Amino acid sequence: MPTSTEQAIVFEDAAPRLNAGLFKLTDEQLATVNTILKETHTRYLNEEAKHVIVSVDSNGVQTTEIRAFADQLRAIENEMWTKLDDAVPVEIQSEFRMKLNLYDDGAPFIKSSAASPSASGYPTARDWIPESELRGPGLLGWNSRYFPLTIGISRSGRWFEYSLRIDNAVIAKKPVPELPTELRHYYREPGPWMAVANVRAAYTMQQWTKLADYFTQEAILRELVIANAYGEQQTQDWSDRRSEEFYTRVQDLVARHSEFSAVLKAVESGESSIGLPEIDVDNLILQLAKCPPQDVDAVLSAAIQHHSRTDVRVAFGMFALCLTASAEPKFQPELLRGEVSSYSETGDTATATLTIPNEPPVPIRFKRENGQWKIDAVGSNERLIERVKPLAEKLEKEKAAKEPEPAAK
């Protein structure tokens, strides 16, 4: 994917710069424009990372699937144009709009002008070609018409092989000694970081039930317990009217996601409480509140044996939906609020540290299952116990109130 010298924006060491020979700019203007391009590209990469799912198959192929994020991309591009317009004269502004390669324009994909359009008006899979002419991505990635787009990268010794999948057609590439500059950020040595990246992307793209794929079953129960404890505490603190509004928003949100329709019917019929289909989380909370920290993992493992993966998956997705999709914006999972660093791997397990501004560091544990890294715990066992104790005390009081008083002698 070599960059043509005639392109207005070229990449060097993964950083964009203006092809100065195509425009009449002063040194000061050129420096300003290059700064804007770098800032724009960095902002794009940060946003793109929120809309990608990364996986590694049994053959070692690292796959990155990019989903469309048109609204965010439009905002990034508009801000870029505003800054560029302030930096250069009107005549250069006009040239920029004609020449800057912000996106791959897709032209090299097409066999000929006679390529048959699909129902959407774009070329169909049979019109793509496996040629090295493919350009892209540009400063702001690929044209949104090609999403979802999948990038596959694998290693062969010190060489790489990469491919693109667009519209279900694979554009194959031969092995290369080094990845094209524009593609290098799509490849990292596989590791636990992939689980964190995928969790963040799933939240951003509202792929609620998909979240469970990136957690071990024990970690799913941890998140359920924390979400349940938080939700119970909040609705107790709110007025009855606010609690009613919260649950109304929850039901509206759930109704818009087909995977939760069966659970919603169970809620409405009184067969299940919101988010907890066939999972006795209350009993689990009571156990956790009383057990020593070193026994927490064993308690969670024992609890998971009583429920199918499907039940746990639906319940986890339900809470993610109810407590993060605007029903209660203050509940934001810790993984979305900080940076993860200090990864340390030992066989099929790993640890890392989550750093959140103005808060103590949070330890994270990972486990590799069937070749995929998953999050096994966010936070220490001691912290989990402390978070569930208030709810456990409430549950104990409710349980005691329901027990009949001893008959008088």
Type of residue at 171: I
**pTM for this prediction:** 0.72
Q: What is the pLDDT of residue 355?
A: 93
- Does the residue 42 lie in any domain? yes
Clarify whether residues 396 and 298 are in a common domain: yes
Number of domains in the chain: 2
Q: What is the pLDDT of residue 43?
A: 95
**276: containing domain:** 206-402
Q: What is the pLDDT of residue 183?
A: 84
Angle among Cα 32, 35, 37 to the nearest 5 degrees reads 110
Tell the burial category of 269 from Cβ atoms under 10 Å away from its Cβ (0-12, 13-18, 19+).
exposed
Last residue of a domain, one of 157, 190, 223: 190
In 13-61, beta strands by DSSP E? 15-18, 52-56
Percent helix, strand, coil in the chain (nearest 5)? 50, 20, 30
- Does the residue 57 lie in any domain? yes
Q: How many CB atoms lie within 10 A of CB 171?
A: 17
Clarify whether residues 256 and 359 are in a common domain: yes
Clarify whether residues 186 and 231 are in a common domain: no
Averaged pLDDT, groups of 10, the chain, 409 residues long: 65 88 94 96 92 85 89 95 96 94 59 39 43 66 81 89 75 78 84 91 81 87 79 61 68 71 63 51 87 92 73 68 56 80 92 92 93 92 91 84 67
Q: What is the pLDDT of residue 308?
A: 65
- Does the residue 339 lie in any domain? yes
Clarify whether residues 226 and 342 are in a common domain: yes
Clarify whether residues 129 and 153 are in a common domain: yes
Q: What is the pLDDT of residue 1?
A: 41
Residue 69 CB contacts under 8 Å (≥ 6 apart), including other chains: 47, 48, 50, 51
Parallel, antiparallel, or unpaired: how do β-strands 169-171 and 339-346 relate? unpaired
Q: How many CB atoms lie within 10 A of CB 222?
A: 24
Clarify whether residues 182 and 112 are in a common domain: yes
Clarify whether residues 158 and 265 are in a common domain: no
Cα–Cα distance measured from residue 323 to residue 310, given in angstroms and rounded to the nearest whole number = 20
Cα–Cα distance measured from residue 209 to residue 52, given in angstroms and rounded to the nearest whole number = 16
And the tokens for 127?
Answer: 């019109």
